[in-house]
Amino acid sequence: MKAVVVHGPGDVRVEERPDPSPGRDEVLVAMEWGGICGSDISYAQHGSSGTAILRHPLVLGHEVAGRIAVLGAGVSAYGVGDAVTVHPASPSSEPLPGLIAGRTNLHREVRYFGSAAFSPHEDGGFSSYRVVRADQLRALPAGLSTRVAALAEPLAVALHAVGRLGAVRGQTVFVNGAGSIGSLVVAALKARGAARVLCADVNADALAMASAVGADELFDAREALPTDIALVVEASGVSAALGGVLRATARGGTVVQVGNLPMAPTPSVLADLVSREIMWTGSYRFVDEIAEAVALLASGLDVTALIAAEFDLADAAAAISAAASTAGKVLLRLG
């Protein structure tokens, strides 16, 4: 089979690897589509993503969908040919403390498709085939293509961030940053009943994408932001933007930080966090919101405006370069 493997900064190769075989309670998925994420770009460009450092070659990709090719022993809930997407996480079996009970995304160790966080690394799904545990599969309802289902994982990230806000039905929410995750947050907010969603970015293409998935009002972040908004999602991950976002937040309001902030010290103006008694909270990956994401996509939630380009697996290096310079989502044809 072919696989997209990163060996180090600037060194992405499409390699031949042996076809894998599923073990007990596993299936072999013939991968069809994959979405390129910021972490894939970071591994390809820098050899790291956040605190995860590349120590040996890694198959990229965690936003994937395909069809079951082979059933392993003990798997009866699925059949060959079934269309599926994948929950990429494998949390440790260590019991969670009461403070974070049920929040499996916060286990001390979570192995994740296409992640170098632990050694040996966890290979991802940018390959012709991938063995997947049956409990990680999420069946696709009839009518939901594997191409669109490749967006289920990032939509789950957005849904988790919206959940961290609390009740949003009937509310006005401000989303700062209209890239792939920010625009999916917009879509998730509308799907969960938000009355008005305001969105800001410095990129006109990103703002157009947010508008296409439901944003009610757009702001050029270089010129102005909304004011006195009780519920805010910060999706840009730009430290310099934090001061303006906090100033846009109402006194006593809530800001959910889903945009990944840099590991290195960078200047940020945070005074309003104290003087306005703002609740600033993080949002990391998701628990099982991918099931809701699949259901929403199957029921007609249209987020295809995010798809900026499609590349064949053989052109993975060019696809990653393109993804690094576009606001939208670049897809790989893996099949």
Superfamily of domain 2-151+303-333: Medium-chain alcohol dehydrogenases, catalytic domain (3.90.180.10)
Strand partners, 130: 29
Nearest to 196 by CA among 178, 221, 213, 171: 171
Which residues are within 8 A (CB) of 184 and not within 5 positions of it... i.e. 6 or more apart? 151, 154, 155, 157, 158, 213, 303, 306
Query: 60-77 burial string, b = 16+ CB within 10 Å, else e?
Result: bbbbbbbbbbbbbeebee
pTM for the full predicted model? 0.97
| pLDDT tens, N- to C-terminus, the chain (335 residues) | 999 999 999 999 999 999 999 999 999 999 999 999 999 999 999 999 999 999 999 999 999 999 999 999 999 999 999 999 999 999 999 999 999 999 999 999 999 999 999 999 999 999 999 999 999 999 999 999 999 999 999 999 999 999 999 999 999 999 999 999 999 999 999 999 999 999 999 999 999 999 999 999 999 999 999 999 999 999 999 999 999 999 999 999 999 999 999 888 999 999 999 999 999 999 999 999 999 999 999 999 999 999 999 999 999 999 999 999 999 999 999 99
For residue 88, whether the previous peptide bond is cis, meaning omega lies within 30 degrees of 0, is no
What count of other Cβ atoms lies within 10 Å of the Cβ of residue 199? 31
Query: Selecting from 3.40.50.720, 3.30.70.270, 3.90.180.10, 3.40.1260.20, what CATH number does the domain 158-282 have?
Result: 3.40.50.720
Residue ranges covered by each domain of the chain: 2-151+303-333, 158-282
